[in-house]
Amino acid sequence: MSQRPNNQLFDAYFTTRDMREIFSDRGRVQGMLDFEAGLARAEARVGMIPGEAVAPIEAACKAELYDFQALGEAIATAGNSAIPLVKMLGKQIAASDAGAERYVHLGATSQDVMDTGLVLQLLAALSLIEADLSRLGDALAQQAQRHAATPLAGRTWLQHATPVTLGMKIAGWLGAVTRSRQRLAELKPRLASLQFGGASGSLAALGDKALPIAQALAEELRLNLPEQPWHTQRDRLVELASVLGLVAGSLGKVGRDISLLMQTEAAEVFEPSAPGKGGSSTMPHKRNPVGAAVLISAATRVPGLVATLFSAMPQEHERSLGLWHAEWETLPEICCLVSGALQQALLIANGMEVDSQRMLKNLDLTQGLVLAEAVSIVLAQRLGRDAAHHLLEQCCKRAVAQQRHLRAVLGEEPNVTAELSGDELDRLLDPAHYLGQAQTWVQRAVAEHHQFNA
């Protein structure tokens, strides 16, 4: 028998083994079999099928009993994975108990099996993502506090602006992580919804036992029973995809910032080093931001996948043709990409290397110009805003033209020295004294993180 090709060469870089296992062939099949076993138990509970049929059905609901190669080939003809799997399941049961086989899949449809199996997989995936986000939040909170007062150049439009702190920058990352955790917690009850509607969503095949069976099935699988089946109402799945898209984008922001801070010209913050990490095939000196690359890659790939799910929402009538099919690999891939990005973000957050002296040196690259605003604000209260702004603008131009430090130019300007002493100028041009509410932002972000954990 031919073997299915293995196309997971990059998995160790872009995702995690645990997440890939959830969405492996075995994971997908087991999710569907869990539905079938739960359905048998639920129908026995309400007297729809005999209790003695449950054990043979459950015994056959183990993924390792099935040939995934043969299942994959059958899917190409059947059009979905449930049809051939239910046939295989029936044969497996009949081999040990022919009587029990007649009660398999009773009242359900293929999409019930696949969607509920997917929900079970997604909840397992969500547990991994939530745990990693929690760990990432802890690591970022520690780093934000550690560097709450570490000055570095703020950058707007990729140019030096006024000073900020590294802790303030990290607190921004932390806030986004906390908000994503909040969103996931809010949507989780909606996501954890049983799909069970039968052929067209009415559960007509089960008669007056339909609702009791549906309730029992939801309880067996530890899912919520929604107000109605959702075969072509896909908002629950798209909501999860959307929030995971936000997670990917927020992690991409971390990756972008880290990669820019690692640039040779900046050299302020680095990913943790490790043997062989970030090297070049030809340049021995290279230290490439390989972790940040995964974060940026995921942030680039995930939005397109989320768009696919949005595009697949206008599904036809009670069962979709093609739009439903477009979801099958899309949502799992989003989960895998986000999981991989989280692993790289954790490595960065836990082991980032910080060169605070280089930050101070870079802050002075413009020879005091980044603190011109600080002087202008004080002078505005004494000379008026327009006059102060014009005066500082002229001093800055003179400093650039003469390649001198702004402090020296200001110290020679009579209109400045008439208002400000040398000590006042020294203080105003010290980055440590122009950090505003940077430390407050850190405290607030960390407090919100801890509040969510409580």
C-alpha closest to that of 240 among 327, 366, 364:
327
Encoded tokens for 140: 């970022």
Parallel/antiparallel/unpaired status of strands 159-165 and 269-270: unpaired
Dihedral over Cα of 403, 407, 411, 416: its sign = positive
Question: For this structure, is 339 an active site residue?
Answer: no
Distance separating alpha carbons of residues 268 and 270, to the nearest angstrom: 7
Residues linked to residue 163 through DSSP beta bridges, in sequence order: 153
User: SS3 for 152?
Assistant: strand
Question: For this structure, is 319 an active site residue?
Answer: yes
Determine which one of 135, 146, 183, 319 is catalytic: 319
| Residues whose CB falls within 8 Å of the CB of residue 349, separated by 6 or more in sequence, listed in order | 136, 139, 140, 143
Residue 154 near residue 444 (C-beta atoms within 8 A): no
Distance separating alpha carbons of residues 187 and 242, to the nearest angstrom: 11
Q: Which helix (H) or strand (E) holds 153?
A: strand 151-156
Determine which one of 96, 200, 280, 311 is catalytic: 280
Cα end-to-end span (Å), the chain: 54
Encoded tokens for 254: 């971390």
Tokens 């129908």 sit on residue: 43
Tokens 């929030």 sit on residue: 243
Q: Which helix (H) or strand (E) holds 164?
A: strand 159-165
Q: Supply the residues annotated as catalytic.
A: 280, 319
